[in-house]
Structure 1
Amino acid sequence: MAKLLYAFSCSIDGFIAGPGGDMSWLTPHLHPDPVVDALIPRIGALLVGRRTYDGDDPHRGGPGEGQAFGGGWEGPQFVLTHRAAPAVPGVSFAGDLASAVAAAKAAAGDKYVNVLGADVARQCLDAGLLDEILALPVPVLLGGGVRMFDRPGPAVELEPLAAHWYRVLG
């Protein structure tokens, strides 16, 4: 059965995007990474927030622009949105979290559903749906932007699985 994984690169001070969703800060740090390279074949579907889907691309100007993992992954994508969207091959749009998660898990089979977008990850965490977190720190201090998690509330316990990889305990 598919698990929901929030895998992301972040600055040392906890931001996944700069001010206004800028992802250009990440471009100089995109290089082969054995953790990411091992993860990609284990991803069966993406669950993407609308701002992330419409947002900036760290691969802009390169051969992988507009493609998941810079073109290193292909498969079904499920975008959580309340706005109408044009039909895009391989992309489904869902208006509520429960149906988006269910569709993504069904499509992923026994692989991961990789969550892209801080707000969708927060919603999954708050709903008790997020299974694992993989935080890949990048040696940059952004000082502002989109936080990897921006949520008030009780602490969430995590169990270490590997370097930077955690199981969500609740």
Structure 2
Amino acid sequence: MAKVLYSVTMSVDGFITGPGGDMQWMRPYLGPNAEVAELIPQIGSLLIGRRSHDGDDPHKGDEGEGKAFGGGWNGPMFVVTHHPPSNPEPGVTYVDQFAQALDLAKEAAGDKYVNVIGANIAKQCIEAGELDEVLLLYAPVMLGDGTRLFAHPGGHPVPLTRRSVTNNPTATNLWFTVDKT
């Protein structure tokens, strides 16, 4: 049975994008990361928010532009959107209902991970009680503004249990299990 994982690179001050959705800040931190290299073959599908799917690409101008994990992963992708494009991208399934998209992504993933891309989709997974794990790649930079990893006006604690901490040349990885009790 698939597990739902939110894996994301984040600045030390808690932002996953810079102002206006900028992802170019991430370029210096895309270097080798053994834990991510081990994770990629364990991903069975992607569950992506439309803003993330259509947004800035940290691999812009590189051969990995427009490809998941800079071209390191290939497989079924499910984009949650209320406005599917008139010319759908090949290999991408556009779904207008979050629960349906999650079910399809889990089915496609089999016994591998559904990797979540996008803060809003991760929040919806949390609110539905469907998020199993979080892998944070802390980049040694402060952005000061942008999209927060998790924002819930008025607060909403999500208890986590640390699984591992791994130092890499470009980031520190913190892997958590979501406490669902």
Question: What TM bracket, shorter-length normalisation?
Answer: over 0.9
Q: Which runs of 5+ in 1 are unaligned?
A: none
TM-score by length of structure 1 reads 0.97
**Number of the residue aligned with 2:32:** 32
Q: Deviations over 1:55-95 (max 9, x none)?
A: 00000000100000000000000000001212222100111
Q: Could you give the per-residue CA deviations for residues 123-153 of structure 1, whole angstroms, max 9, x where no partner exists?
A: 1101111110000100000000001111133
Cα RMSD (Å): 0.8
Alignment correspondent of 2:171: none
Classify the secondary structure of the residue corresponding to 2:157: coil
Instruction: Please say which of residues 3-12 and 24-33 is displaced more in the overlay.
Output: 24-33
Q: Distance in 1 between matches of 2:156 and 2:30?
A: 34
Give 1:159's aligned residue: 161
Equivalence map 1:73-152=2 (5 Å): 73-85=73-85, 86-152=87-153
Unpaired runs of 5+ residues, structure 2, are 166-173
Report the secondary structure of 1:93's partner residue: strand
Instruction: Report the AA paired with residue 169 of structure 1.
Output: D
Determine which of 171, 174, 178 is the counterpart of 1:168.
Answer: 178
Do the aligned residues in 1 keep the contact of 2:46 with 2:77 (CA within 8 Å)? yes
Distance 2:46 2:84 in 1: 19
Give CA deviations for 1:70-123 in whole Å, capped at 9, x if unaligned: 000000000000012122221001111110000000000000000000010001
CA-CA distance at 1:167 after TM superposition: 0.8
- Whether the 8 Å CA contact 2:78–2:92 is kept in 1: the answer is yes
SS at match of 1:20: helix
Under a length normalisation based on structure 2, what TM-score does the superposition of the two structures give?
Answer: 0.92
- Render the CA deviation track for 1:14-68: whole Å, top value 9, x for unaligned: 1000000000000111111111101100100000000000000000000100000
- Could you tell me the percent identity over the aligned residues? 55
Report the secondary structure of 1:144's partner residue. Answer: coil
